[in-house]
Structure 1
């Protein structure tokens, strides 16, 4: 598996050139109880925080409240899949985002956390 380093304004991420699977399943959101409760009881706040960590506008997920289909959650999920080379389809992203919104946000937040690059000392020294 080959990896490309991509530096975004707010973070550094690994971008895979090969496809893999999500590191957690859509129903594995209860593994992190604190995150699960936050996403379930305060979904908009959790979605806004996750979107900001992804490098997008903080208030973007608030547009999802306008209808039963959640285009922002779905587009962030598609973008996340493309960034990390995760297998899937637009159809599955649409279904998950429509019927399991808190689980989708938990899965995306967990994926971003697990795929972050560790800070390297040489990076800190070279920036001075």
Structure 2
């Protein structure tokens, strides 16, 4: 008895975008409604952005437990990794600490600009 083994091709994501942020940390005029939302209700905006990024909706609420918002900083680092954006953790820490609403707005604008859909697929091995 012989077995036929078929191997599915693995997905490859090639970054054809810039290795820089699509907008600056203070480019609020690029998307005024979102920046107003982030300014007036940053926790709600952060939760909405985190969910759109594919993470737990309530994750940003953990930021209230420290001087440096760990979730905001982690999301910036993760987004830089995912999209191949140059930067440093020190810069991410400064943005997350000093301009939290602006950092969330920048991340939201970047997700819209890149338009990379997140697809989670579950598969069973038989």
Calculate the TM-score normalised by the size of structure 1.
Answer: 0.77
Structure 1 unmatched ranges of 5 or more: 6-14, 119-128
Q: Could you say which structure has the higher strand fraction?
A: 1
Q: Structure 2: which 5+ residue stretches go unaligned? A: 1-11, 118-126
Q: Give the count of matched residue pairs.
A: 106
In the alignment, does 2:50 pair up with 1:56?
Answer: no
CA RMSD of aligned residues (A): 1.8
Rounded to whole Å, the distance in 2 between the matches of 1:68 and 1:103 is 17
Deviations 1:13-49 (A, max 9, x none): xx52886100000010232110110000000000000
Q: TM-score, normalised by structure 2?
A: 0.78
Question: Deviations along 1:76-121, whole A, 9 cap, x unmatched?
Answer: 1000000000000000000000000000000000000111148xxx
